[in-house]
Amino acid sequence: MNAKIDIALTLNGEAVTGRAEPRMLASDFIRDVLLMTGTHVGCEQGVCGACTIRFNGVVARSCLLFAAQLDGAVVETVESLGAPHDLNDIQKAFRKHHALQCGFCTPGFLMTVSEILQTLPLSTDHEIRDALSGNLCRCTGYEHIVRAVRDLVNQRDGVQA
């Protein structure tokens, strides 16, 4: 059970390899083996959403995946978005609307938002709240996160706020 295996994947556009026990969680593998610590661990039960990544293009809880399942996969984490001096539009909207306080849940929210902007109409704030309800935040009360997403949806749809 404890014999390590080789895992090769594409992480944020780069081909990487790492060794891990098959039982290791993908969240721990990304953080402790591949040393990308932007993905956070909040509950290890798939409830809080802090560890949300894109797994073969689809958002997934990295705490509910094993490292072994990442072999051959294309994975994107928060580090795939903009850089501190070159934020992407989602990050800029979060900053503009003060949609983060302690920042611990933020990487998970950013990954979720990156998907729902592509897949959902989000025509009402109610719909935005439903789409975000798989990510927990204890600081913001969600109000400013909803405003940031509303702003992004308006940009996407060419709607004047």
Partner 1 sequence: MNDAAIPKDTRSAPAPETSRPKYIGERVQRLEDPRLLTGTGRYTADIRFERMAHLAFVRSDQAHARILGIETDDAATFPGVIAVLTAQDFSEIPDLVAPSRMKNYHPTHCPVLARDTVRYVGEPVAVVVASDRYLAEDAANAIVVDYEPLGASSDPAAALLGDAVFLHDEVPGNLVLERSFATGDAGSAIAGAAHVVEGRFRLRRKSPMAMEPRAYVADYDRGRDALTLYGATQIPGVVRDELAKLLNIAGNRIRVIAPDVGGGFGGKGSLYPEEIIVAALARRLARPVKYVSDRLEDLTSTSQGFDEYVEARLAFDDDGMFIALDAEVIGDIGAYSIYPWTAALEPVQVASFLPGPYKTPHYRGRVRGVCTPKPPTGPYRGVGRPMAVFALERLVDMAAETLDMDRAEIRRRNLVQPDEFPHRIGSGIIWNHSGFTECLDAAVKAVDYSGFKERQLLALEQGRWIGLGIGSYAELTGIGSRIAVAPGMPINTGNETATVRIDATGAVIATFATASHGQSLETTLAQIVAEELGVRPQDVQIVQGDTGMTAHGTGTYASRSAVIGGGAAILTTRALLKKVKRVAGRLFDVDPDRVETGDGEIYVPGTNHRIGFDELARAVYSDMATLPLAARETLESQENYDPVLGTTTSSTHIAEVEIDPETLSIRLTRFVVAEDCGRMINPQVVDGQVHGGVVQGIGVALLEELEFDATGQLLSASLADYLIPTSAESPHIEVIHLETVLPDNPGGFRGMGEGGTIGAPAAIANAVADALAHLGIGISELPITPSKLHRLIAAKNLTKDRE
**Contact positions toward partner 1, by CB under 8 A?**
2, 21, 23-24, 28, 31-32, 36-45, 47-48, 50, 77-79, 81-85, 87, 91, 94-96, 98, 100-107, 110, 125, 128-130, 132-146
Q: How far is the CB of 117 from partner 1 (least distance, A)?
A: 15
- Of 18 and 42, which has the nearer Cβ to partner 1? 42
- Of 101 and 154, which has the nearer Cβ to partner 1? 101
With beta carbons less than 8 A apart as the criterion, state whether 10 and 73 touch.
Answer: yes
Helix (H) or strand (E) holding 132: helix 125-132
Q: How far is the CB of 81 from partner 1 (least distance, A)?
A: 7
